[in-house]
Amino acid sequence: MNFNDKPAFMKKLNHIAIKLDRKLNDEQCEVFFEDLKDLSIEIVEQAMDLALRDRDPDDVYLTRAMLTTPEIRRAAEELIKNKDTKIKDMLGCEKCEPTKGWILEITKTGRAVARPCDCMTEVVRTELKRKNRNRADRMDDRQREGTLVAYEVSKLR
């Protein structure tokens, strides 16, 4: 997370605090932010929900206790591990293994240009053709179509 993600992080943290019938001041929010700033905002937001859901509902103390950074970090690591295995199953030829579907090239002028790999475009095409798709899949279509356009443009060069 960077400084621009701080308002979204504070909003999510206060939302969780309200759910747990707690109040957080700015100093406490700042401590949470400093402890978790090495993770992305999307992962942290999902990890907060996952950590809250993973708590034991029968534990009287945990029903109102505020989330802790170790709980959030544990849930974030679990999300990252699941995300990495999901992506590794879909992508990863010898050309694009380190970047998971993208190939970085340096032009004559020294500018770095990234283009999608063949394996990634095949995954994107099959995902766009899949019939049983939910709303979240349809929301990602714009990004998938952009990937296909980037691939076609890179083939023209």
Of 84, 87, 120, the closest CA to residue 102 belongs to 120
- Type and span of the H or E element at 104: strand 102-106
Q: What is the pLDDT of residue 75?
A: 92
pLDDT in tens, 61-85: 888 888 899 999 999 998 888 875 5
Return the higher-pLDDT residue of 84 and 59: 59
> Which of helix, strand or coil describes residue 15?
helix
On the question of pLDDT at 86 being above 60, the answer is no
pTM of the predicted structure, to 2 decimals: 0.54
Model pLDDT, residue 84? 59
User: Residue ranges per domain, the chain?
Assistant: 3-87, 91-156
At 92, is the pLDDT very low, low, confident or very high (cuts 50, 70, 90)? low
Tell me what the mean pLDDT of segment 74-99 comes to.
Answer: 72
